[in-house]
Amino acid sequence: MIEWNEGLSLGIKALDDDHKKLLDIINELSHAISNDEAKKFIESIFDELQNYATDHFHREEELLKKCGCKKLDEHIKQHLIFSKKIPDLKAKFLLSKEPYNAEEISFFLTDWLFNHIIEEDIPAITMFEKCGLTKEKKEKSNFLTKIITKTTNKFSFTRRILLSALTPLIGMLLFGTIILLNNYNKYEDMRKTSAITNIISNIDELVHTIQIERGLSSGFLTSAQDKFKDTLNVQRTIVDMATNEFLEKIKTTEIKNIYEIQPYINTFKTDISSINKLRKDIDGKVISQARTIDKYTSMIGNILSITPKVAFLNLDREVSSSIATLSSIQHLKESLGQERAFGTMIIEQKDATLKEYITFTRLIGTQKAFLSTFAHTASGSQKHTNKMLRDSNIAKQVRLYEDSIEIHDFKNLDTEIWFKSMTTYINKIKLFEDELLSDINILIEKRINDTIRNLLLWLSFTTAILVITLSILYTFKKSTKFQIYQLTNAMKDLATGGRSLRLSPIHVKRDELAYMYDAYETTRQKLLKGDIYTQLYLNKKEMEIQSHQRENVKLEVMAFIDPLTGAVNRRKFEELSMQELERSNRYNSDLSFLMLDIDHFKSINDTYGHAAGDEILKHFASICLDMARSLDIVARVGGEEFVVMLPETTIDGAYIFAERFRKEIYTSEVTVDEQIIKYSVSIGIAILDNDKDVKDILQRADKALYKAKESGRNCTIVYK
């Protein structure tokens, strides 16, 4: 009886129940065969098998069709072949008289069922699962488990290895790309900053010249003798040159691409285009001094607004701080320039309006605010330089004039001295401003070089990491695929019956592949052990069969051989002699028979006992068997009577053999219980003479033996 194994289940109850039922029918047939009752139930068993197989095939084909099986036609073909085979098997079983044919049919059905399940149905399980036909054990799974399942179903093992390596690599590359972009943005910011700082010197120069023109214009408008006229005209020429140089600088592509400062540049162009009209108004003294100062101040303020924008363009703290420091000094200088203009106006008039005094005082307060801002952003050395400027003699002289103007003391104040003093002080600040700008340019150049170096280092590092990672990934992928291919080939070899392909265990690092190798090797050894045990079992069975055969031979020998003498018994002799008679007649060959009888055997039994008689019989038979050829037959046909059949032997040859044997017996002796016994034999000879029955020949040999007895025994007589 073959029991159902759950490893054969498909997960579809209807089909699994069909398979179990088919196995039960086959087991029922096997049970009937083993109990020799198959003939009684053969009709019902085969009819049930036919009907159930048909129903099963129909159900299976419907499910395969529902799932869109590409091999449906092949399945149907196999089903039809088996359906047609059942009636043939039934007929063969009914016509067969041999039991092994019934067992062969039972084995065929069992083999077909398991091949049908394993080779046809089990490969379709995946298809059934996709159709939702199988009953899967639903376990509670968390989000991570679902992701793992979907990933396993979607990507092959090789792709999962690739993704597991590429995912962190992509993350690293993204991180590297962000850093590279950040460095590149820093580089662009620095480049923009550098481009603007290149024109800041022009801005400083332009602002400085416009500030001087503003001061001279203010003095010219307040003086009655036109004492500032010539200096003002020279300064206007200087301003025009500085303006043209600045306008040429801002025509570059780099400046045009800095959109943050374009509004100020456009405003400056508008202002500078109207400067000639302003100058004409000044020359004609048709514009007030305050209005003139406001016009110049607005123009200067617009240009000076560019520098703070540079600080906001750059994210580097030190650079931004340095630019902020420069902007503070620029606005301080501008405030001093405005103070110079208003001071010149007030001193020249020896008085001023309340508004002009308030503006003058406000400018002094604004300068303190700019110095406070400077103190927050400047370095220690910059603060020290500014302190030296503030403590210089020219700065002290300016403060004396400021104090006098604030208290309306104009007795000792001179317009030209004030203007020159303020200009000298502003020029000193201008030099400090140039130093700050130079420091900024050096710092920006350093930052650009650092950014380029970092950019190249990160690019080199990212490239190296990418190359190394891809190389390692390629090596790992190849090594892993090699191990998997090695394991796959080994499993295929194992499945086809191979047991010699051994996989060396992985000892260096114990991972999942190492466990798979171990599992394969364990399986191989178990199967190898099973094969050996199977071979041992088969050998044992073969030995048992051979032993049974030998036992059968022994039994056969015991049935046809005389147990005392070892000679053939009468029944076997009659069978062999008839076969030889037919052969001799067919091929017209010679055939002789010797009838032998031990002389006075009864007297030996009476005198020495039956045990001695048995020894005489064994002695007699052993000599006869030793002297006979392999094709000769020695048989014991009576108590002390023996027959020797000599195929291919003439009467002369038979006589020679008989005499040699008789003499051997006569000259030999047997020792029984320390008694020596001697005996003789009488022999009758007859040959084949177109006889159809051995009995006829033996009768003639028996008559010859009788004559030998009458002739005094211990002699050989040939029947004539």
229-249 and 262-273 helices, crossing angle to 10°: 140
Average pLDDT of 603-613? 90
Least confident of 201-205, 383-387, 573-577, 677-681: 201-205
Residue type, 131: C
Please report which confidence band the pLDDT of residue 128 belongs to, taking 50, 70 and 90 as the band edges. Answer: confident
Which CATH code is given to the segment(s) 561-718? 3.30.70.270
Tell which residue, 466, 464, 519, has the closest CA to residue 494.
519
- How confident is the model over 610-648, as pLDDT tens digits? 899 999 999 999 999 999 999 999 999 988 999 999 999
pLDDT at 253 over 80: no
Q: What percent of the chain has pLDDT over 70?
A: 87
| Chain mean pLDDT for the chain | 82
Q: For residues 694 and 86, which has the higher predicted lDDT (pLDDT)?
A: 694
CB 180 within 8 A of CB 266: no
Which CATH code is given to the segment(s) 6-130? 1.20.120.50
* pLDDT value, residue 152: 67
CB 16 within 8 A of CB 56: no
- How confident is the model over 551-594, as pLDDT tens digits? 776 666 667 899 899 999 999 999 999 999 999 999 999 999 99
Domains 6-130 and 561-718 share a fold: no
Q: Which residues contact 283 (CB under 8 A, 6 or more apart)?
A: none
| Residues 548, 551, 557: CA angle, nearest 5 degrees | 145
Please report which confidence band the pLDDT of residue 487 belongs to, taking 50, 70 and 90 as the band edges. Answer: confident
In this structure, the strands spanning 670-672 and 641-647 are unpaired
pLDDT at 195 over 70: no
* pLDDT value, residue 706: 95
Average pLDDT of 33-52? 71
Q: Which residues contact 287 (CB under 8 A, 6 or more apart)?
A: 221, 278, 281
* pLDDT value, residue 595: 95
Please report which confidence band the pLDDT of residue 537 belongs to, taking 50, 70 and 90 as the band edges. Answer: low
- How confident is the model over 209-226, as pLDDT tens digits? 888 888 888 888 877 666
Tell which residue, 680, 657, 650, has the closest CA to residue 667.
680
User: Which sequence spans correspond to the domains of the chain?
Assistant: 6-130, 183-433, 561-718
pTM of the model: 0.46
Most confident range, picked from 352-361, 433-442, 532-541, 618-627: 618-627
* pLDDT value, residue 241: 92
Neighbour count for residue 553 (Cβ, 10 Å): 10
- How confident is the model over 366-385, as pLDDT tens digits? 888 888 888 988 889 999 99
